Amino acid sequence: CETLLDCCAAPGGKSFSIAIQMGNRGELVSCDLHKSKISLIESGARRLGISILRAECRDGKNFVPKDEGAYDRVLCDVPCSGLGVLAKKPAIRPREMDGTEALCRTQRAILDTASHYVKAGGTLCYSTCTLNPMENEEAVKDFLARHPEFSPEDFVIGPIRSENGM
């Protein structure tokens, strides 16, 4: 049975999709920083008949020793500036990017912590919904420079093909 950790899961859509792709077999732990969002994830899983999902309130930056090397796959869809969803969130447009450096530190801390949860030979996936290279390519390059035990993998999603795992 496969084990998967979704580090920044709320509101749960990615976790639900993953559980369905897993055929509701294995173990899926879906975490979020905000306790109020855990019930949202749990109720969504119940509504969809997903029984393999366990929702936990935890800060993705804080290491949980019991989970070291415990997961086949770890998803880090980290909080971001949202520049990739401007059409859906027009309020982002006029906002200044003042908090980007702090946000990048948070993203990288979550990724660093999550890397400890991946089993040998497992997969760590980093994603955002922004177009900002500092939050994407630069974050991945920085991580890979500090973690030579990881390497990028190319992927295909419909018509989209990655280049060097990005």
Catalytic positions are 129
The DSSP call for residue 101 is H
Q: Which amino acid is at 13?
A: G
Residue ranges with strand state E in the chain: 3-6, 27-32, 53-57, 71-77, 118-127, 156-157, 160-161
| Nearest C-alpha neighbor of 153 from the set 140, 142, 166 | 166
Residues 93 and 83: their CA atoms lie apart, in Å, by: 8
H-only helix segments in 22-136:
35-47, 100-115
Please tell me the distance from the alpha carbon of residue 113 to that of residue 100, in angstroms, as a whole number.
20
Amino acid at 3: T
State the amino acid at position 134 in one-letter form. Answer: M
In one-letter notation, the amino acid at residue 9 is: A
